[in-house]
Structure 1
Amino acid sequence: MAEPSGAGDSIPLECPGLDTAAGEEFLQEVFQILLEEGVRKSTDVTQKVCEWKEPQELQDLLDLELRSDGEGRERLLQRCRDVLRFSVRTGTPRFFNQLFSGLDHHVLAGRFLTETLNTSPCTYEVAPVLVLMEEQVLAKLRELVGWSPLKGSEPLFVCATSGTTVLGAFDPLDAIADVCARHGLWLHVDAAWGGSALLSPRLRHLLAGIHRADSVTWNPHKLLMVGLQCSAFLLRDSSGLLQRCHGVGASYLFQRDKFYDVSLDTGDKSPQCGRRADGLKLWILWKAVGTRGLAQRVERAFAASRYLLEQVKRREGFQLVMEPEFINLCFWFIPPSLWGQENSPQFWDKLGMMAPAIKEKMIRRGSMMVGYQPQGSHVNFFRQIITNPAVTRQDLDFFLDEIQELGWDL
């Protein structure tokens, strides 16, 4: 074996290159830090949601520079404490953000698909489509094909959504499935957000017809609070489609003459040959709480949103963007300075500045966290998402009180 001259001459091989006892002691101390900072404080409603620091200040506090020589145990432990201390405490009952986003409902056609796949789904916007009749579907497909630089494309598949990111809307899957069946189109359902409603007998009607889909995406790490990340891609196909698309049959990994059933080698079904067993987290949770336990998580989130909806309708200064279909509660807070100015040309521009101003105040105070965004012709509004089972009525009342206090004098 070729080796640079002198390399390894001064490295003793008589003893292990790791001090396993010191490593075990270090891990035990890290575990205590995780338990205190990452679990106890991160779920304590009396703690700040975030300890806000300006980026440059945070860079200096954490000392991000990498050096030739490593740091000692005490300094490393302090790094662990600091990272947790200055992280957003997403487990607190007053963290109201939805962690991840998907696509709103839309229809894709032919080679237009390639443009979508090459664009971030969090920034790509397609004109919303509520498909109720066959003529509307086909008209939209023809429109999208017309946008494609490659003329003559044929419709490929329809992508419906169960639980849109911002408004929480559900497409009528049975009506869409009828059209797809009639014209031989693949039906994909983006149920990343709303798919967990299937676990609740009271809410699964929102996804009526999903059993007719050819493929479905679902993110248990959203509504069910499975540890990040945990995403599922489900196929009706039973012919080994994923393996035929992605499998390369690498002989150095997937030998066919193993002593066991090689159909159990599922690694060749994905381009990510080396990856975590994300499904294990969902399996453990499901085994622990059962289907009824998961359903209760969904239904509790729904009940919390209903309570908050009632309060928003009663409180002065709060205005709904629309009646919610799911647990996405979208609303504006209108401060007294804008009351009675709804017909003013500047009203909506001024209102659009309220949510960012209130968000800045709450972040600097560290009291809570909630997302906002514009949508179509609607200026910035708050989007309240409740998934944490630890949230109580007191937390929900605090949320509205805090919005009102921070925005009242704007």
Structure 2
Amino acid sequence: MGIPASKLPYTILYSFFYNSGFLQKNNNLEEKISSLKEKPSKDLLDNSDRDSRFRRTETDFSNLYPKMVRNQPCSSCWRWWIFSQTMSARPSTDPPKSWTFTTPTSCWRAWRVSTWNCLTNLSLWKQVRTKEDKGGKYDALCFRFTYEIAPVFVLMEQLTLRKMREIIGWPNGEGDGIFSPGGAISNMYSVMIARYKFFPEVKAKGMTAAPRLVLFTSEHSHYSIKKASAALGFGTENLILLSTDERGRVIPADLEAKVIDAKARGCVPMFVNATAGSTVYGAFDPIHEIADICEKYNMWLHVDGAWGGGLLMSRKHRHKLSGVERANSVTWNPHKMMGVPLQCSAILVRERGVLSGCNSMCAGYLFQPDKQYDVSYDTGDKAIQCGRHVDIFKFWLMWKAKGTVGFEQHIDKCLDLSHYLYTKIKDRQGYQMVFEGEPQHTNVCFWYLPPGIRGMPDGQEKRERLHKVAPRIKAMMMESGTTMVGYQPQGDKVNFFRMVISNPAATRSDIDFLTDEIERLGRDL
């Protein structure tokens, strides 16, 4: 008798952790060392009766375990780890090496998955011997990307994606999704799925089977939407940029006007991208108003929450994504605000089946339909890749360790620190905010005006001098090894600092240090 499908995920996960030692009582290093020492050396080293090709060579591992007793990497790796730009574990007296972070435990999980070298959905590498080759060499390596070789990770992915869909607000977490190499690929998935939903014949016949399709996105959106337009054959000229307000949020009236104009020109409006946490300003587009227009004109609504999606974990801040439950698809990158190590990005789809329909090729030699288990567990065919890295393991365990409340506290603290920075500098001499009002995310955008610039009249000379201030201060920060803050221009605005915080190890004293350091280095510019 097989295991019922309803109990299969929990049975598989329990079996995995029990057999791996996670649930065993006697799971300490000393006992494992003792058990190894008790084994006769002949069992390990006597290979005299084996074919020479398969004999083990004797290696001295006598100094291996003492190095590992402290439960940390080897000394070289440990030094690299401690001095890494994104390590959050640091003496409290030091300024943060980076305002973003990954935790030591999550780093370990990422490394562990890499050393397993287990591709998600990868089945056995079958060595196929040709009839002509009687000598034992192999002619080919056949592989397939299915449930049976990575059942634990497939189930982890399904359970985690369902929970993410519940948090978005889709009933019972229904829908579909998959982890991808990053937010740019997740956004590309959304465009592909939308095109398949409205014009499925494009999958077989290409773009000639569709009318002239147009896409819409904010002028402040991530460049990956433009890249998807080019890569998928829409053309960048058919991506229409939407005007934003002074805070960087899409103006819904501009969207509707441009949809009407596109229809008048004979184009078919198909896809709208709403940004939840823009790269520079951290702006959140008004999703409800955009969703109303999408429903009115029958367009696919995608929410790019690669940067801002983590705020859904916070009861205090999730209102900034109000209306996200009305989206047809959502990009959410746990490797950004939530601190999961790269790479960990999810594309979540409200309608079940459309993701598989868009990407599946029904390759019978890889995805056999007559297996003994429910073949819906074979997720490989709905990905645009073949093999995929096990991105879910580090996120799944990190969620287990921190809990939803732990992520909430992490996010709330980072936003509280950004609020502290904003209130500290908004009326402080020498500082000028890029836009009025408190930022929606942890992006705090400001200029620092050295004393020699403050008294200058507004004009081209002042703009040119101010444009050079942020790059020069950052260069001196890096040369002195104190801290780093990003900067960039935006539209007609000259270079400004963009301070982004996602490291929960940062403190208010770190913010104080940052402002003091900017003022110290910029005093004579």
Distance in 1 of aligned mates of 2:408 and 2:327 = 22
- SS state at 1:220 partner: coil
Q: Whose radius of gyration is greater, 1 or 2?
A: 2
For residue 332 of structure 1, the aligned residue among 410, 427, 447 is 447
For residue 93 of structure 1, the aligned residue among 93, 96, 107 is 96
Equivalence for 2:401: 288
Equivalence for 2:343: 229
- SS state at 2:366 partner: coil
Distance in 1 of aligned mates of 2:514 and 2:240 = 30
Equivalence for 1:200: 314
Note if 1:161 corresponds to 2:249.
no
Q: 1:44 to 1:202 in 2, by over 3 A?
A: closer
Post-superposition CA distance 1:142-173 (Å, at most 9, x none): 56789xxxx63210011111111100111111
8 A contact 2:242–2:254 mirrored in 1: no
- SS state at 1:364 partner: helix
How many residue pairs get aligned? The number is 347
8 A contact 2:88–2:503 mirrored in 1: no
Distance in 1 of aligned mates of 2:183 and 2:468 = 23
Equivalence for 1:138: 256
- SS state at 1:249 partner: coil
Equivalence for 2:355: 242
Post-superposition CA distance 1:21-66 (Å, at most 9, x none): 59978996964432343047744656999xxxxxxxxxxxxxxxxx
The code of the aligned residue for 2:470 comes to: A
Distance in 2 of aligned mates of 1:407 and 1:125 = 40
Equivalence for 2:513: 398
Distance in 2 of aligned mates of 1:330 and 1:125 = 26
8 A contact 2:331–2:346 mirrored in 1: yes
Q: 1:47 to 1:132 in 2, by over 3 A?
A: closer
Distance in 2 of aligned mates of 1:23 and 1:264 = 44
For the aligned residue pairs, the C-alpha RMSD in angstroms reads 3.6
8 A contact 1:94–1:399 mirrored in 2: no
8 A contact 1:48–1:368 mirrored in 2: no
Q: 1:26 to 1:379 in 2, by over 3 A?
A: farther
Distance in 2 of aligned mates of 1:372 and 1:383 = 5
8 A contact 1:332–1:382 mirrored in 2: yes
Percent identity over paired residues:
41
Q: 1:35 to 1:363 in 2, by over 3 A?
A: same
8 A contact 2:215–2:272 mirrored in 1: no
The runs of 5 or more residues in structure 2 that have no matched partner are: 1-50, 103-181, 186-190, 192-211, 217-224
Equivalence for 1:315: 428
For residue 374 of structure 1, the aligned residue among 482, 489, 500 is 489
Q: 1:157 to 1:127 in 2, by over 3 A?
A: closer
Distance in 1 of aligned mates of 2:240 and 2:77 = 39
Q: TM-score, normalised by structure 1?
A: 0.75
Distance in 1 of aligned mates of 2:491 and 2:282 = 15
8 A contact 1:168–1:328 mirrored in 2: yes
Equivalence for 1:388: 503
Question: Bigger CA drift: 381-390 or 255-264?
Answer: 255-264
- SS state at 2:274 partner: strand
Question: Bigger CA drift: 19-28 or 247-256?
Answer: 19-28
The code of the aligned residue for 2:213 comes to: G
Q: 1:46 to 1:349 in 2, by over 3 A?
A: farther
For residue 354 of structure 1, the aligned residue among 469, 473, 490 is 469
- SS state at 2:524 partner: coil
8 A contact 1:301–1:386 mirrored in 2: yes
- SS state at 1:202 partner: coil
Distance in 1 of aligned mates of 2:471 and 2:520 = 15
Q: 1:15 to 1:119 in 2, by over 3 A?
A: same
Q: 1:142 to 1:229 in 2, by over 3 A?
A: same
Kindly report which structure 2 residues correspond to 1:72-221, keeping only aligned pairs within 5 A, or say none.
93-96=96-99, 110-111=213-214, 116-117=227-228, 126=241, 128-129=243-244, 130-133=249-252, 135-141=253-259, 152-221=266-335
The runs of 5 or more residues in structure 1 that have no matched partner are: 1-10, 50-91
Q: TM-score, normalised by structure 2?
A: 0.59
Alpha-carbon offset, residue 98 of structure 1: 9.4
Kindly report which structure 2 residues correspond to 1:234-273, keeping only aligned pairs within 5 A, or say none.
234-238=348-352, 240-273=353-386
Distance in 1 of aligned mates of 2:262 and 2:66 = 57
